[in-house]
Chain A
Amino acid sequence: MRCTKSLFTLLAAGLLIAAPLAAQADPAEIIDERQEFMKGLGQQLGVARSYVQDGEGTAADVAEAARTIAERAGEIVALFPEGTGMHEVDIETGARPEIWEDPDDFAAKAEGLSEAATSFAELAESTEDPAEIGAGMAALGRDGCGACHRTYREELD
């Protein structure tokens, strides 16, 4: 029993590692994956908005969502392998060629999201005031998401 369980864990871990590698081979998959990933970031922010606007959940939920964004920001760069930009593939993607022209800056923007989300988490751990949390969420959008989207993301149809 124990053995089967750890075998299962091992397999699952193997799958987790293999999945991103496999995806790199196929632009359609990786593009789909990163678009879902981005939507996931948006959903975490939905937690904050529900709290601010509708009083749903707690400030602790908001902090947890922010920590999730901060951690996952580190995955962004790997979701943009070369050859998956908007003029290179016949798939709808808003990934601008600038991503591969200045990869260091793109990585810095991902790091910037992690930092902005960490500050936001700290804010939500120190106050329950919806107005303050609302302002913090706007700052996270501006410094985290907007700083990258302004240069590297183009609107889809």
Chain B
Amino acid sequence: MLLRALPAFLGLALLVTAAQAQEEQDQEEQTQEEQAEATADLSPAEERGRQVFLAASCAGCHTAPDEGTFLAGGRAISSPFGTFYSPNITPHPEAGLGNWSEAEFARALREGRMPGGSAYYPAFPYTSYTGMSDADVSDLWAYIQTIEPSDQANREHDLSFPFGFRFLLEPWRLLFFEEGRFEPDPALSEEEARGAYLVEVLGHCGECHTPRNRLGAQEQDRAFGGTATGPDGRRVANITPHEDGLADWSAGDIAYYLETGFTPEFDYAGGAMVEVIETSTSQLSDADRQAMAAYLKRLAPLPRE
């Protein structure tokens, strides 16, 4: 049973991202943006934390649609295994993270473990966040403290048998989860290394842009090569500098797309990428968008699958 269920589990992270993107509502996003902006008087650490928060698009998953309370969770993320409900991550002492230590927060994000030690589902993209720097985790934690606490109770995931058993995640982690801080290739310039960190770790761009093998793990030799069977069975673009990808795009074109959604041919982004642009990349600094573009131009060019 356990072994038979395993492959199904592996596709989980992928499917979850898909459902998330599809359920998106414009209304809700505007509220989220307003709320993220409303926090005006932030200390430097809190403001840096807010930047990390935007680059990692935490709000997209942790706020319910239709005017859901900011970061109070309860967003339904459907998958063939059942429905996940994102938890409350406001600093409320009982309902949220109010009684957590910073170390527990860091462990959740980078090791994918609960304070009690059980594993999280990879629907929470800690497989990418594991690379986060100590400083970013610490700033992010400072920013989380500025959020209005909400007493909204967490809703249990509604998963079909046997996916509700967290211990099944252990073999998955053994095979596919490598914990550790991000270390950029020393051949990269400072700007490219910053871009690498934003793309690989915070932005978790590979969650959608890298194809997965039969067992649902990302194929690293095809990193960012796009796929015909991405989240929800939809196509995801090749973003390597190959002619099947972004070879014709200048770094400026890429940065402009991440800011506005417009391609050099005046097409507009579609599918799950619209949400990524709205909740994350459009809200970053020009320097960060340029860094991401510079890194994408440095990727190994790959043809389409």
Chain A interface (Cβ < 8 Å from any Cβ of B): 38-39, 41-43, 45-46, 49, 94, 137-138, 141-143, 145-147, 149-151, 153-157
Contacts and interface: CB of A to CB of B under 8 A. Distances in A.
A138 B26 contact: no
B275 A150 contact: yes
Interface string B8-22: 000000000000011
Interface string B259-272: 11110011111111
B155 interface: no
B304 interface: yes
Given A141-B262, A142-B278, A149 B235 contact: no
27 contacts: A42-B266, A42-B268, A45-B262, A45-B266, A46-B266, A49-B262, A94-B270, A137-B260, A138-B282, A142-B278, A142-B282, A143-B26, A145-B261, A145-B268, A146-B261, A147-B274, A149-B268, A149-B274, A150-B21, A150-B270, A150-B271, A153-B270, A154-B271, A155-B234, A155-B270, A157-B235, A157-B304
Contact of B277 (A43, A146, A154, A157): A146
Interface in B244-268: 259-262, 265-268
Given A45-B266, A149-B269, A155 B274 contact: no
A49 B266 CA distance: 9
B24 interface: yes
A42 B263 CA distance: 9
B237 interface: yes
Given A43-B266, A157-B304, A149 B282 contact: no
Contacts of B278: 142, 146
Contacts of B137: none
Nearest to A153: B270
B196 interface: no
Interface of B: 21-22, 24, 26, 228, 234-237, 259-262, 265-272, 274-275, 277-278, 282, 304
Given A46-B266, A49-B266, 4 more contacts: A141-B262, A141-B268, A142-B274, A146-B261
Contacts of B267: 38, 42
Given A138-B259, A146-B261, A150-B270, A155 B236 contact: yes
Contacts of B259: 138
A157 B234 CA distance: 11
A42 B26 CA distance: 22
